[in-house]
Structure 1
Amino acid sequence: MDDDAPTSAPAADLGDREREGVIELLGAISYGAIAGFTRLAADSELSDDLGLKRALAGMAVTEFHNHEALVAHIEQLGGEPNAAMDPFREAFDAFHRRTRPRDLVEGLVKAYIGDGIANDFFLEIARYVDPESRAIIERAAAKDTDTEVIVEAVRSRIRANRRLAGPLALWGRRLVGEALTQGQVVAGQREALAELVLGLSHDRPGADLAEMAQIMERLTDAHQRRMGRLGLHA
């Protein structure tokens, strides 16, 4: 994150409405992490390549550890983890239903593109929370080095069959469209979370319309870079 990101008060000093918004954000991210864990674990079983299997399994384990850290912080803030996560189940589950991979290579692209855009989105929103919560979110959204294994696996499959490139590029565009749509739904349906982002629940500046446009631009740029690394046209 950049040095110009908004500064925040310690978690202990949060007002009730701000605390509610932070708990909602943590609930969304923690449910995304547990959903990511189960999906990556399932993907790992589809691979016959031991290196790829281990990489996917390791990413699944990392997602679960991230989930545990996020849940612990929800409890630290006085929230109940299941209650914090429950409002976001339908949005995440709907995303995964609509973007169910047909095979392993689509699953790999989803793991890289879908998780990447989700992490970028939550990192952007984390700019508006207290430093302690922000640090936990940043650790949960940190890039895993094992994604390099996914990138190479996708690129090798495209090299072996050039006809995969077009359909996978369409798949990547669909993933980012669905992810951004669900992200806006998540942010917009929860009042305390929306107030947190807009700066209505605290004294710090929030995100105005111009900043929201810049956020979307940064998300799009990051997506294009990921697609390029996979050898796909965004």
Structure 2
Amino acid sequence: MSEEPSTKPGSTLGDREREGVIELLGVIAYGAISGFTRLAADSELSKDLGLKTALAGMAVDEFAKHELLVTHIRELGGDPMEAMTPFVPAFDSFHARTAPRGLLEGLVKAYIGDGIANDFFREISAFVDDESRAIIAQAAGDGRRTEVIVDAVRRQIRADRHLAGPLALWGRRLVGEALSQGQLVAGERDALAELILGTSHSRPGAGLEEMGAIMQRLTDAHQQRMARLGLSA
């Protein structure tokens, strides 16, 4: 009697490719739990009930994304804590270097910083299997609640035009730090680097030309977000 093909998630992945996918999921899962704690803290700072509620809802969304990623890591045979742990120092260092000095900077960081991180993860997901790509796309969605952040920041700038310059500088700093951190994280784990370069599986990887195109798309998306906030990129 012939054996039925396996339908277990990741059953078609080789060991090295599975390791790389689990590392990528670990990066995003830790990013999601970090986002949860930061958005919850921002919600506590807000005196505007509508904004407080929206930020709390975004925090809940981040935790749900974290659980989605953790579940898929387990389905692939990985340990979520082991998958996330190598990336804790890099993320914590990034957040320490970009600690906001108040709620307004926190809102810009949530919109700009998290936005470019999600864009980066969606771009990198092009080099993974279809099922993992779908999970990452769901976890990297910005959601509609970000409109509340955009409205809040624009209101503050309309009320005090002197805020626009410092906030624009803050946004530029965030994108520079985020892009540098993304490249560092992608290259510091061998299996993850091999996944992106396409050396651990049969799918095409990202060559130098493609990585350049990815960085340009990330920059373009950042400029659009800055413009929506009413800031110069």
Give TM-score scaled by structure 1 length.
0.95
1:11 Cα deviation from its structure 2 partner: 2.0
Q: 2 CA distance for matches of 1:25 and 1:158?
A: 37
Deviations 1:174-223 (A, max 9, x none): 00001011101100000100100110001111110000000000000000
1:158 Cα deviation from its structure 2 partner: 0.1
2:65 corresponds to 1:69: no
> What code does the residue aligned with 2:172 have?
R
Give TM-score scaled by structure 2 length.
0.96
Q: Which runs of 4+ in 1 moved over 4 A?
A: none
Q: 1 CA distance for matches of 2:188 and 2:142?
A: 28
The answer to whether the 8 A contact 1:11-1:131 is kept is no
1:143 Cα deviation from its structure 2 partner: 1.9
Q: 2 CA distance for matches of 1:51 and 1:91?
A: 33
Q: 2 CA distance for matches of 1:146 and 1:27?
A: 25
The sequence identity of aligned pairs, in percent, is 74
Task: Mark the runs of 5 or more structure 1 residues left unpaired by the alignment.
Answer: 1-9
1:144 Cα deviation from its structure 2 partner: 1.1
Q: How many residues align?
A: 225
Written as runs of structure 1 = structure 2, the 5 A alignment for 1:196-211 is: 196-211=195-210
Q: Which has the larger radius of gyration?
A: 2
The answer to whether the 8 A contact 1:112-1:150 is kept is yes
Report the counterpart of residue 5 of structure 1 in structure 2: none
> What code does the residue aligned with 1:221 have?
D
Q: 1 CA distance for matches of 2:128 and 2:74?
A: 16
1:172 Cα deviation from its structure 2 partner: 0.1
Written as runs of structure 1 = structure 2, the 5 A alignment for 1:78-93 is: 78-93=77-92
SS of equivalent residue, structure 2 residue 11: helix
> What code does the residue aligned with 2:18 have?
R
Q: 1 CA distance for matches of 2:163 and 2:86?
A: 37
> What code does the residue aligned with 1:121 have?
F
Report the counterpart of residue 4 of structure 1 in structure 2: none
Written as runs of structure 1 = structure 2, the 5 A alignment for 1:22-171 is: 22-171=21-170
Q: 2 CA distance for matches of 1:216 and 1:200?
A: 21
RMSD: 0.6
Task: Mark the runs of 5 or more structure 2 residues left unpaired by the alignment.
Answer: 1-8
Q: 1 CA distance for matches of 2:196 and 2:153?
A: 36
